[in-house]
Copies of this chain bind each other. A is one copy, B any other.
Amino acid sequence: MVRGATLYSPVLRELEQVEATLDSLKRADSPRLSQMMEHVLSGGGKRVRPAIALLAGKFGRYEGELLVPLAASIELLHTATLVHDDVIDHAATRRGRPTANSLYDNGATVMLGDYMFAHAAELVARTGNIDVVRLFAHTLMAMAGGELSQDLSAYDYGQTTVEYFQRIGGKTASLFAAAGEGGAIVSEAPQPFRRALRAYGESVGLAFQIMDDILDFTGDEGEMGKPIGSDLLQGTLTLPSLLLMERYPKDNPVRKLFGRRDRARHLAASIELILNSDILDECRSVAADFRDRASRTLAELPRSPARDSLTEIAEYVVERRS
C-alpha cells in the first residue's frame, strides 16, 4: 500500500486531518452503528482521491481548512458506493476483509451506505460552498448512473468499448474529476486551473479503472481479496473481455460463459485466452495513454511540489499491483 510519505508529501498533514475527520464519524449514536462504520472505514484504502483533492487545493489563493472536509467527503462518498456495490455484487470479501454485507444483513448494509452518503453530504456542506455541493450532487448522479448501466448491461455481449468508457467515466472517473475540480473550487483557483484539474482527475480515474479491470485478471487473489475473473463471472464486460470479444467475434468463451452453462470451464478458458494474448498489454497501453493525457494536462498548471505529486500519482496509478 502506498499512502506514502513521498507520493503525497505536500499534503501529509491535511491527510492526517482527513483521517481524523473520518475517525470522528465512527463515533455514532448507537454502538452497533459505530461498529459498522469502524469496519467499513478501516479497510485501509489508498486515499488517492482525497490526496488529489488536497493537492488540487494548492493552486488557488485559499489554502485554509475547508479542503479537509471536502477531501473527507470524497473518500466517504467513495466508501459508501463500495458498500452498496458489495451488496449488489454479493461480494464476500474486499481487500481480504469480509464485506459489510457479509457481516450484516443486506438491509442494514444498504442503510449503512445511505447513512454514509448523508455524512458525505454533511461534510461537503461544511465547505459552505454551493458550487461544491452542486458538483457533489452531479458526481453522485454520474456514479449511480454508471453503476446502474453496468448492472443493466450485465451478461449483454452486444456492448461496445465506447459504452465501457462511458460507464467507467461515470462510475469511477467522475469522482476523481470531482476531487480535482472540488479542490480547485474550494481553493478559489482560476477557471483554467479548475478545468485542468478536473480533466486531470478524469484521465487519472479512467487509467485507475482500466488498471482495476486488468488486475481482475492478473491480481493476487489474497491481495485483491476476490477471485480472478470475478467481473466476468458477474456478467460485467470490462476492457480485457471486450477486446477478447472484438478479436474473436464469432466464437469465444466469454459468449459461452454468458450462456450460463459450464460457467467454470468457460471462465477458465476466457482467462487463459486473455492471459496468453497481448490483450492485457493493449489495455495497459490504453491506461498509459490516459496517464500521459493526465500529465499533459498538468502542464497548464504552474510548477510546484503539488504538481509533481499529481504527476507521480498518475504514474503510480498505472503501476500499482493491487
Contact = CB atoms under 8 A, between A and B. Distances in A.
Contacts of A130: 125, 128-130, 133
B121 A140 contact: yes
A108 B140 contact: no
Contacts of A133: 121, 124-125, 130, 133
Given A130-B130, A134-B125, A147 B111 contact: yes
Interface in A132-152: 133-134, 136-138, 140-141, 143-145, 147-149, 151-152
Contact of A111 (B88, B114, B118, B129): B88
Contacts of A112: 144, 148
Contacts of A28: 145
Nearest to A128: B130
Interface residues of A, number: 45
A138 B121 CA distance: 9
A111 B151 contact: yes
A88 B105 CA distance: 9
Interface string A147-177: 1110110000000000000000000000000
Contacts of A114: 81, 84, 113, 117, 140, 143-144, 147
B108 A33 contact: no
Given A137-B121, A138-B122, A141-B122, A151 B115 contact: no
Given A88-B110, A114-B117, A122-B138, A148 B105 contact: no
A148 B149 CA distance: 28
Interface string A83-117: 01001110000000000000001111011111101
18 contacts: A28-B145, A29-B145, A84-B110, A84-B114, A87-B107, A88-B110, A106-B106, A111-B151, A113-B114, A115-B145, A118-B137, A118-B138, A118-B141, A118-B143, A121-B133, A122-B134, A122-B138, A130-B130
Pairs of residues from A and B, 7 with the lowest C-beta to C-beta distance, nearest first: A88-B107, A118-B140, A121-B137, A118-B141, A122-B137, A115-B144, A114-B144
